[in-house]
Amino acid sequence: MKPLHKIIINKDTSFNPIWIMRQAGRYLPEFREIRKKNSDFINLCLNDDLSSEITLQPIKRFDLDAAIIFSDILMLPYGLGQKVEFEKNFGPRLGKLNLNEISKIDEIDFVEKIHRVYKAVKKVSTNPNLNDKNIIGFVGAPWTLLVYMINQQSPKKNLKKDFFKDNFLINRILLIIERFLKVHIKNQIDNGANIIQIFDSWAGLLEEKDLPNYIYTPTLNLVNFVKSLNVPVICFPREIKNYKEFCDIVKPDAISIDYNVDPKKILKDIKIPIQGGLDPKILLTDYDNLKKEAFKYLEIFKDHPYIFNLGHGILPETDPIMVENIIKIVKNY
Ligand code: 1CP
C-alpha cells in the first residue's frame, strides 16, 4: 500500500509520510533552469516531457512520499477557452469571461486542449522509480476558480467591487466549472493519479452566509464524485473560519490545514486524517527552529493519522537544504 493511502485509508498512526505543497517549483535551481528557457507557463504545463521531468525533480533530490503533477489550477479556465497568461512579477492574468463562448465548449474540446497534462500524469505514474509513492492529481475548488475567472487576476490585492453583481452569470459559471472539474479529475485518475487534492486557496474570502452556495455544495459534489471513483480526496479550504463545519458537511477523506489553524483545537474537533499546517516561513529560519516547530505538529498529532506538509505552498526563496532538513526531521521522529 502507498504511504498516503496507509494514513488516509488505514488510519495508520505509526509513521508520518511527507510531501510539500508546490514541491516542484521556483525554489529549485533545476526548475528555474527549465523555466528560463520556457517563458510561456501554460505551454510548459502542456509540454509533457518537461512537465513530467519537473514533477520528478523534487523526487530525485529528496525522500518524499508523493509526487504532485506539475500543472496549475488555471488549466481549467484555459481548457474552457478563457485566455490565461502568467506575467512576471504580477501573476496570472485572465482574459474577459464570455459566458456564450464558454457554454459552447464540450468535453471533447476541453480534453483536446489540455490532454497533454494527462500524458504527463501517465508518464509519471508509469515510472517504475515511483512505485512506492503516491501520485497526486489536483484541481482548484469551484469557488477559487470562479474567483480567478471573474476577477481575471489574483484576489491578493482585492476582489472586483462588482464581483457578486451578476448572480445569473456566477451561478452558470459555477455549474460549468463543476462539470469540467469532474472531467479533469476523471482524466487524471484514469492516467494514474491515486489521490486527488482540491485546493480552495481563497475559501477565506467568503462570509459565512455564502459558504453553502459557493463552497459546501459544489465541493461536496466533487468530493462525492472522487469517492465514486474509489480514490481518496484531500480538501484544502485555506483560511476558512470553521474547518469542523466544512469537514462535517463536505466529508473529505483527509483535510489539509493552513498555518493559522490551532493544531490542538483541530485535533479535538476533527476525526478524519489531517495534513499540513507548518508555516512555510519557518523554512526560511534555521535548523533548530525548524525542528522545534515541526516537533510541535508531530507531537500533537502523534496518535492521529497525519501527513506532514506545510500550511501553504513552499516559498520561492527557500533553501533546498531546509527541505532536506524537514524531511530528515519527520522521518527520524
Ligand atoms: O515560474 C513561475 O512563475 C510559475 C509559478 C507557478 C508554479 C510553479 C505557478 C503560477 N503555478 C505553479 C505550479 C503549481 N500550481 C502546482 C504544481 C505542483 C506542485 O505543487 O509542485 C500546483 C499544485 C499549483 C496550484 C495553484 N496554482 C494554486 C493552489 C495552491 C496555492 O498555492 O494556493 C493556486 C492558487 C494557483 C494559481 C497560481 N499559479 C501560479 C501562481 C503564481 C499562482 C498564484 C497566484 C496568486 O497568488 O493568486
Query: What is residue 55's predicted lDDT score, i.e. its pLDDT?
Result: 98
Q: Which of 294, 229, 283 is nearest to 22 (CA)?
A: 283
Nearest CA to ligand 1 atom 7: 25
Contact 94, 42 (CB under 8 A): no
12 CA from centroid of ligand 1 (Å): 30
**174 by DSSP, 3-state: which?**
helix
Query: What is residue 157's predicted lDDT score, i.e. its pLDDT?
Result: 74
Cβ atoms within 10 Å of 227's Cβ, excluding its own: 15
Nearest-angstrom CA–CA distance, 215 and 314: 25
Strand partners, 86: 92
Answer whether 0.85 is exceeded by the pTM. Answer: yes
Q: Nearest 5°: phi and psi at 242? A: -125, 90
Nearest-angstrom CA–CA distance, 2 and 65: 8
Query: What is residue 158's predicted lDDT score, i.e. its pLDDT?
Result: 78
The domains of the chain are located at: 3-332
303 CA from centroid of ligand 1 (Å): 32
Give the nearest ligand 1 atom to 23 CA: 21
Nearest-angstrom CA–CA distance, 86 and 246: 31
**266 by DSSP, 3-state: which?**
helix
As given in the structure block, the three cell numbers for residue 74 are 488555471
- B/e letters for 20-58, b = 16+ CB within 10 Å, e = fewer, are bbbbbbebbeebeebbeeeeebbebbbbbebbbbbbbbb
Query: What is residue 159's predicted lDDT score, i.e. its pLDDT?
Result: 86
Q: Which of 119, 130, 102, 113 is nearest to 187 (CA)?
A: 119
Nearest-angstrom CA–CA distance, 263 and 316: 25
Summarised one tens digit per residue, pLDDT across range 41-52 is 999 999 999 999
Query: What is residue 317's predicted lDDT score, i.e. its pLDDT?
Result: 98
Mutate to test the pocket of ligand 1, among 40, 44, 72 (most ligand atoms within 8 A of CB): 72
Mutate to test the pocket of ligand 1, among 20, 35, 69, 73 (most ligand atoms within 8 A of CB): 73
Query: What is residue 11's predicted lDDT score, i.e. its pLDDT?
Result: 98
Distances (CA, A) of 310 to 12, 105, 144, 241: 20, 36, 19, 18
Nearest-angstrom CA–CA distance, 315 and 271: 30
As a CATH number, domain 3-332 is 3.20.20.210
Give the pocket of ligand 1 (CB within 6 Å).
21-26, 35, 41, 68, 70, 72-74, 86, 91-92, 138, 154, 156, 199, 201, 313
Give the nearest ligand 1 atom to 155 CA: 48
As given in the structure block, the three cell numbers for residue 211 are 459558504
Q: What is the pLDDT along the chain (333 residues), one digit of tens a residue?
A: 999 999 999 999 999 999 999 999 999 999 999 999 999 999 999 999 999 999 999 999 999 999 999 999 999 999 999 999 999 889 999 999 999 999 999 999 999 999 999 999 999 999 999 999 999 999 999 999 999 999 999 999 778 889 999 999 999 999 999 999 999 999 999 999 999 999 999 999 999 999 999 999 999 999 999 999 999 999 999 999 999 999 999 999 999 999 999 999 999 999 999 999 999 999 999 999 999 999 999 999 999 999 999 999 999 999 999 999 999 999 999
Report CA 153 to chain centroid distance, whole Å. Answer: 18
Mutate to test the pocket of ligand 1, among 18, 19, 22 (most ligand atoms within 8 A of CB): 22
Query: What is residue 22's predicted lDDT score, i.e. its pLDDT?
Result: 97
Half-sphere exposure of 88 (CA within 13 A, CB side): 5
